[in-house]
Amino acid sequence: MRDQRGIRINRYLAMCGLGARRAVERLVKEGRVAVDGAVVDDLAFRVPPDAAVSVGGKEVRPRRRFRYVAYNKKRGVLTTTRDPHRRRTVRDELPRQLRDLKPVGRLDGDTEGLLLLTDDGSFAHRVAHPSFGVVKKYVVVVGGRVTKKDVAALERGVELEEGHIGKVNVGSVKRSGAGSTVSVSAVYGRKRMIRQMFAVLGHKVKALRRVAVGPVKLSRLRPGEWRELTEEEVAALGVSDARDVAVVVTMDGPAGVGKSTVGKAVARRLGFSFVETGKLYRALALKALREEIPLDDGPRLAGAFERTEVRYALTDGEPLVALDGEDVTAELAGGDVADAASAISALPAVREVLLPLQRRLAKPPGVVVEGRDIGTVVFPDAAYKFYLDASPGERARRRAGDFAAMGKAVAAEEVEKDLAARDGRDVARDAAPLRRAEDAVYVDTTAMAFEEVVDFIVECVERGEAARTAG
């Protein structure tokens, strides 16, 4: 079925900079255009949001003119686009033509200074995430005299809540009367890290202002004012390289917690692709059942799977899985396939075979991947990691509701017992056991509405908050 939500193929190719309408239509008619590996010669074809398009065997992506803005945030204004308590937000302060832009990283309400805004998600990821090494500089006014011993502690690292270590570079210290003004810089930080570090050392922060992000300086911007970044500033931040990097969002957690439904919604909101890894294991399990391979014979299963082609794509927002060129999506819902998938997923040899396939699915601009070992094994260096959880009773209630929707009446008590057994297997298995990555954001969804969970994760990613910028 053609995806009616996608972009017409001729418009898509024009957006890639391949020429005007007649030129790109000629490419289609000549059979040089392929979508997800299949040649497209229908000018009415619409390109799905997550599709891979190639011309003459080379992948192409639309070009777009993004906006990059430097804004001097006032103290007392929240770094968010909306607030349920109706407090003043950055969006409220911006002129109408900038209200579609999103903050890069965050500054807490009491912090003022330089905040970058953009509609380029890859750029935001590159600037906010510490792996790219973009330095943020701050001026901190504190009570008391900051000593050389304090400076050494700030640069060596100060232990904060939950065992986290806060660390900054100190540029200068100016002492005046009963206070000090300190210039610091950091690549990585947690929420309110700078304030907490000085508090541990006995200095209360009276004012905190960000004055630079990489090469971009606050300079003469007055509070509330903004300006466009120059081409040199954008280039210095490496935006061209960022567009070649896939932003990976991992979503781990036990069965029945809602990872798939939340993951799909998050991917849709971010404009990313979505991968439900359980479907991949089920496809391989189906292969094993068809060929009557013993489900505990790891080497034989691995050998068969290495000769198997598994393709995964989204159609109308739902996953489509092809096994050796055959659409087997409908067959993956069977209970025998699910049981077989659970059995083979515990085998190290099988997980090793599937690992490269899972990693290849991470394509720009980004992907949301759900499973049980995604943030710990499959994408250990992912930019954004989330661990979803809920109480056993709530998970059982949700899963029982899913069964009811399919016309199956299963008691919640029975479901809870099955989930507990599955948790035990997932946690105890030798190969990639279920556990929360140390740097994953823990999300207890027990008392949260579905929309609240999605909003929380999307805002974390859009603001780079899973990377925890300082302030």
89 and 151 co-located in one domain:
yes
How are beta strands 58-60 and 53-55 bridged, if at all?
Answer: antiparallel
Tokens for 5, please give them.
Answer: 């939500």
Asked if the structure places residue 1 within a domain, the reply is: no
Residue located via tokens 């509701």: 401
**Residue closest to 33 by CA, chosen among 6, 2, 8:** 8
Same domain, residue pair 221 and 279? no
Q: Of 17, 40, 60, which residue sits at a domain end?
A: 60
| 126 falls within a domain | yes
Based on the domain organization, do 316 and 419 belong to the same domain?
A: yes
Domain co-membership, 312 together with 220: no
Give residue 60's pLDDT: 87
Report yes or no on 108 lying in a domain. yes
Which pLDDT score is estimated for 64? 61
The reply to whether 143 and 261 lie within a common domain is: no
Residue 2 inside a domain? The answer is: no
Residues 175 and 31 in one domain: no
- Give the helix, strand, coil percentages of the chain, each rounded to 5: 40, 25, 40
Put simply, whether the predicted model's pTM sits higher than 0.75 gets the answer no
Cis amide bond preceding 48, omega within 30: no
Same domain, 232 and 251: no
Single out the catalytic residue among 108, 119, 402, 455: 108
Report the CATH number at residue 22.
Answer: 3.10.290.10
Output the pLDDT for position 464: 63
Q: By the 8 A CB rule, do 169 and 137 touch?
A: no
Q: What is the pLDDT of residues 415-429, one digit of tens each?
A: 888 888 888 877 877
Give me the CATH number covering residue 389: 3.40.50.300
The verdict on residue 417 lying in a domain is: yes
Same domain, 196 and 130: yes
pLDDT at 239: 53
Residue-level pLDDT at 240: 47
pLDDT at 286 (0 to 100):
94
Say yes or no: 84 and 49 in one domain.
Answer: no
Last residue of a domain, one of 183, 215, 241: 241
- Closest among 128, 138, 137 to 237, alpha carbons compared: 128
Which residues are paired to 70 by β-bridges?
Answer: 116, 227
- Indicate the DSSP class of residue 188: S
Q: 381 and 438, same structural domain? A: yes
| Domain span holding position 125 | 68-241
Residue 404's pLDDT is 78
CA 140 remoteness from chain centre? 31
| Shared domain check, 414 and 314 | yes
Does some domain include residue 251? yes
Query: Do the domain assignments include residue 367?
Result: yes
Domain of residue 80, CATH code: 3.30.2350.10
Is residue 255 one of the residues assigned to a domain? yes
Q: Are 461 and 455 in contact (CB under 8 A)?
A: no
pLDDT-flagged residues of the chain (< 50): 1-4, 240-243, 467-471
Q: How many residues does the chain have?
A: 471
- Determine the pLDDT at residue 425: 78
Specify whether 108 is catalytic.
yes
CA distances from 375 to 103, 210, 278, 430, 431 (A): 25, 31, 15, 17, 14
* Tally of domains within the chain: 3
Residue at which a domain ends, from 183, 216, 241 = 241
Q: Are residues 143 and 94 in the same domain?
A: yes
